[in-house]
Amino acid sequence: MRIFLRCLLLALAWLHFVAQAGELADKLKDGGHVLLMRHAYAPGVGDPPGYTLERCETQRVLNEDGRSQSQRIGRWLRTQGLERARVYASPWCRCTQTAELLGLGSVTVEPSLASFFDQPGQAASSNKSLQAFIAKSLAGKPTQPLVLVTHHVNIREFMGKDIGSGDMVLARVDGQGRMLSYRIYPSP
């Protein structure tokens, strides 16, 4: 009897996992959701003085833990049903590195995902640009998921909350790209 109950519990847990696995992918294909992700672990805060976007070696970038985390997130997303996606990243190297290591498709640099950490007065205008990009990207209800890799300041301005490195936010948005509701997925 004990073995039967264990098998039953395992079967129920598996069915629950399978049911949830498609939920993220299904929502991302409905034309009303976007997945925002904070770049994976890059030690430090901000960027060194004199950094330039054209030279990764002048910026704060992913370390080995961050690269492994990015690959792990990509594997997790595939278990959730995301095989391919339209992937956009901030021009900062830690974001493009994260996006590429997800392995969900080619990565396009998108200026509306750029950090405004050094210029906090640009938060509102940056958020408006992000919303406009999301609205444009979801117009016509495309069936391929939209994944955006960006920075904590951008996500905080968009949703009002800080999230950790590699954490993801499934955001339900309106036709203007404004967030209506969200669910946080911690980095696996």
- State the residue range of the domain holding 125: 2-185
What is the domain-level CATH number for residue 132?
Answer: 3.40.50.1240
Domain count, the chain: 1
The pLDDT of residue 48 is 87
- Token pair, residue 55, equals 């030279």
113 near 88, Cβ under 8 Å? yes
173 near 180, Cβ under 8 Å? yes
The pLDDT of residue 164 is 97
The pLDDT of residue 13 is 43
The pLDDT of residue 15 is 42
163 vs 75: CA distance, rounded Å: 20
Q: Which residues contact 43 (CB under 8 A, 6 or more apart)?
A: 60, 63
Q: What is this structure's pTM?
A: 0.88
The pLDDT of residue 142 is 85
pLDDT in tens, the chain (188 residues): 666 555 455 544 444 444 444 799 999 999 999 999 999 999 999 888 999 999 999 999 999 999 999 999 999 999 999 999 999 999 999 999 999 999 999 999 999 999 999 999 999 999 999 999 999 999 988 889 999 999 999 999 999 999 999 999 999 999 999 999 999 999 99
The pLDDT of residue 14 is 41
175 vs 178: CA distance, rounded Å: 7
156 vs 168: CA distance, rounded Å: 12
61 vs 39: CA distance, rounded Å: 10
| φ, ψ for residue 185, nearest 5 deg | -110, 110
The pLDDT of residue 58 is 94
44 near 60, Cβ under 8 Å? yes
